[in-house]
Amino acid sequence: MKYITTIALALGFSATAALAGEATLEGKVQCAKCTLKKQGKCQAALVAKGKDGKEQVLLLLGKEAKALHKAVCKPGSSVAAKITGAVKEGTLKISKVEKKK
């Protein structure tokens, strides 16, 4: 019985630790090359306001990023979205995307 309880607690703590590193950001998804002129190659990027109110650009990673990029890889185009994922060194690894209308 102690073994089962220990495993259940370990799984619960590891799931909480994984969620603790995630952030939810709202902004516009744009092409980092075609629209933002920030990269040498096309890649989806989220333009959102940071805690200090300044605009920040995070490059998006993951399968969802590739799908979003297809919709925004034209100069001047963007998609409003609410994205949840892990932020690390100017990138956002997507775990959930909600497109806004």
Q: Given a cut of 80, is residue 20 above it in pLDDT? A: no
Query: Residue 34 contacts by C-beta under 8 Å, 6 or more apart in sequence?
Result: 42, 73, 74, 75
> What tokens does 11 get?
């799984």
- Range 26-51 average pLDDT: 93
DSSP conformational letter for 89: T
- Tens of pLDDT, residues 42-51: 999 999 998 8
* Both structure tokens of 91: 């990138």
Instruction: Name all domains of the chain by residue range, CATH numbers in brackets.
Output: 22-99 (2.40.50)
Q: Work out the average pLDDT over 39-59.
A: 92
Residue 8 has pLDDT above 70, yes or no: no
- Looking at residues 52-57, what average pLDDT do you find? 91
Mean pLDDT of 12-39: 76
Q: CA-based Rg of the chain, rounded to a whole angstrom?
A: 17
pTM of the model: 0.75
Looking at residues 12-34, what average pLDDT do you find?
73
- Per-residue pLDDT for 14 more than 80? no
**Alpha-carbon gap, residue 69 to 83, rounded angstroms:** 14
CA 47 centroid distance within chain: 11
